[in-house]
C-alpha cells in the first residue's frame, strides 16, 4: 500500500493565493473606476456600460470579501481597502505595460531619440548621414525638445542630455565634455574691432541665451565674466534670446558677441561664418550624456547608435 505524500502547508497557501487572484480584466475595470471615481466615466473609457462596471466591481468585492467603494446616490467613495488595492493594481498594470512595450520595441529597428533643440539641430543632425550609411536598416525618429523626457513612459528609446550625469532610474553613458568661448561674425569684428583683452567686450553688443544664464551649466556670460574677473553688474546688458541655436544665428547675423559651446559651432568656425573673438576656452560644468532604460541598454539598434555617438564625439572634422 502506497502512503500519501506529506502536504506542505506553505504550498497550499501559495496555491490558494494564486486561485484567489482576480482576472486582469476585472482589475482593469476596478482601476478605472477608482481613478475616475465614477462607474459611468470608467464605462465610457472602457467602452462598456456603467452597469457592467458596477457588476464587475461588485463581483470583485464579493471575491475579496470586503467593500471597495461606498455607493452614494450620485457618487461613489473609495474605501481604504479600495485605495490600497488601486495603488497596487496601478503599479502592476504599469509594469505589465512596460514589459510588453519593451518586448515590442526589441522586435523592431525604429529608434526614437529626443534631445535639446540646439544639440539636435547643430551637432546631431549634420552628422546623421554617416549613421545612415553605416546602419541603413535602423530608422531614426528624432525630436528636439527642451522638456525632459520620461523614458519610463516608453515614448523615446534614448534621451540626449547636457547635464551632470546624475539621472535616477536610467542608464547614463558619457559621450563627451564641452567648453565655451565668445564668437561673432567676421562682419561684426570688422565693424567694432578686434578683442585684444576681455574688458573690450564690456563696450560691445552682447547676446544672451536666457535659457543658460541662470543655470549651473557653465555656458553663460556669468561663467566667462567670472573667469576673466570682469564686473558682474555688466552681465545683463545685451540682446536676449531663448535658446542657444537662435543666439548663435543672431551672432552669425552680426548682431553681437555670443558665448558658444564648442560642440555647437564647429561647422561655423571651419567655414568662417563665425570666428572666436578671444583665445582660450573654458570647460563647462556639464557634459553630454545618452540616457536609456537599463532593460534596453543592450538592445542592438540602441547599442549601435550610442557607439556611433561616441565615435562622432571624437571626430575633429
Q: What's the confidence (pLDDT) of residue 13?
A: 47
- The domain segmentation of the chain, as residue ranges, is 9-105, 108-177+287-313, 179-283
Pairing of strands 287-292, 158-163: antiparallel
Put residue 173 in one of left, alpha, beta given phi > 0 → left and psi -120 to 50 → alpha. Answer: beta
Q: How far apart are the first and last CA of the chain?
A: 86
Q: What's the confidence (pLDDT) of residue 12?
A: 46
Q: What's the confidence (pLDDT) of residue 30?
A: 93
Same-fold call for 108-177+287-313 versus 179-283: yes
DSSP string covering 119-177, please? Answer: HIIIIIGGGHHHHHHH-TTPEEEEEE-SSPP-GGGTS-SEEEEEE-S--TTSEEEEEE-
- Superfamily holding 179-283: Periplasmic binding protein-like II (3.40.190.10)
**In three state form, how does the secondary structure of 76-117 look?**
EEECHHHHHHHHHHHHHHHHHHHHHHHHHHHCCCEEEEEECH
> Distance (Å, rounded) from C-alpha 47 to C-alpha 57?
16
Q: What's the confidence (pLDDT) of residue 6?
A: 53
> Distance (Å, rounded) from C-alpha 127 to C-alpha 314?
13
CATH number given to 108-177+287-313:
3.40.190.10
- pTM of model > 0.85: no
Q: What's the confidence (pLDDT) of residue 199?
A: 93
Q: Which among 186, 272, 100, 159 is positioned nearest to 194, based on CA atoms?
A: 186
Cell of 167: 539621472
DSSP string covering 17-82, please? Answer: HHHHPPPHHHHHHHHHHHHHT-HHHHHHHHTS-HHHHHHHHHHHHHHHTS-SEEE-SS-EEE-HHH
> Distance (Å, rounded) from C-alpha 261 to C-alpha 301?
29
| Residue segments in the chain with a per-residue pLDDT below the cut of 70 | 1-20, 98-108, 149, 154, 317
Kindly report the number of other CB atoms within 10 A of residue 235's CB atom: 17
Q: What's the confidence (pLDDT) of residue 235?
A: 80
> Distance (Å, rounded) from C-alpha 209 to C-alpha 87?
43
Q: What's the confidence (pLDDT) of residue 1?
A: 46
At the topology level, CATH places domain 9-105 in Arc Repressor Mutant, subunit A (1.10.10)
Helix axes 50-64, 39-46, angle to 10 degrees: 110
Amino acid at each position: 500500500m502506497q502512503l500519501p505524500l506529506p502536504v506542505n502547508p506553505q504550498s497550499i497557501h501559495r496555491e490558494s493565493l494564486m486561485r484567489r487572484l482576480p482576472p486582469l480584466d476585472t482589475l482593469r475595470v476596478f482601476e478605472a473606476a477608482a481613478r475616475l471615481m465614477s462607474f459611468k466615466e470608467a464605462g465610457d473609457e472602457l467602452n462598456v456600460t456603467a452597469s457592467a462596471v458596477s457588476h464587475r466591481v461588485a463581483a470583485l468585492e464579493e471575491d475579496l470579501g470586503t467593500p471597495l467603494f461606498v455607493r452614494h446616490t450620485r457618487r461613489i467613495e473609495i474605501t481604504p481597502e479600495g485605495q490600497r488595492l488601486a495603488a497596487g493594481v496601478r503599479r502592476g498594470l504599469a509594469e505589465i505595460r512596460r514589459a510588453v512595450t519593451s518586448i515590442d520595441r526589441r522586435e523592431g529597428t525604429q529608434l526614437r531619440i529626443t534631445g535639446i533643440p540646439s544639440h539636435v539641430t547643430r551637432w546631431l543632425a549634420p552628422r546623421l548621414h554617416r549613421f545612415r550609411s553605416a546602419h541603413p536598416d535602423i530608422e531614426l525618429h528624432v525630436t528636439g525638445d527642451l522638456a525632459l523626457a520620461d523614458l519610463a513612459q516608453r515614448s523615446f528609446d534614448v534621451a540626449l542630455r547636457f547635464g551632470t550625469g546624475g539621472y535616477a532610474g536610467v542608464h547614463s553613458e558619457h559621450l563627451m565634455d564641452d567648453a565655451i568661448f565668445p564668437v561673432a561674425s567676421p562682419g561684426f569684428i570688422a565693424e567694432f574691432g578686434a578683442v585684444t583683452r576681455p574688458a573690450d567686450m564690456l563696450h560691445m553688443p552682447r547676446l544672451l541665451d536666457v535659457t543658460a544664464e541662470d543655470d549651473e551649466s557653465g555656458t553663460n556670460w556669468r561663467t566667462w565674466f567670472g573667469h576673466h574677473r570682469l564686473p558682474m553688474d555688466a552681465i545683463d546688458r545685451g540682446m536676449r534670446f531663448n535658446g542657444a541655436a537662435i543666439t548663435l544665428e543672431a551672432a552669425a547675423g552680426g548682431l553681437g558677441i555670443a558665448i558658444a559651446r564648442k560642440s555647437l559651432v564647429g561647422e561655423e568656425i571651419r567655414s568662417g561664418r563665425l570666428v572666436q573673438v578671444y583665445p582660450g576656452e573654458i570647460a563647462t560644468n556639464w557634459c553630454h550624456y545618452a540616457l536609456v532604460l537599463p532593460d534596453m541598454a543592450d538592445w542592438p539598434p540602441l547599442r549601435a547608435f550610442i557607439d556611433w555617438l561616441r565615435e562622432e564625439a571624437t571626430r575633429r572634422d
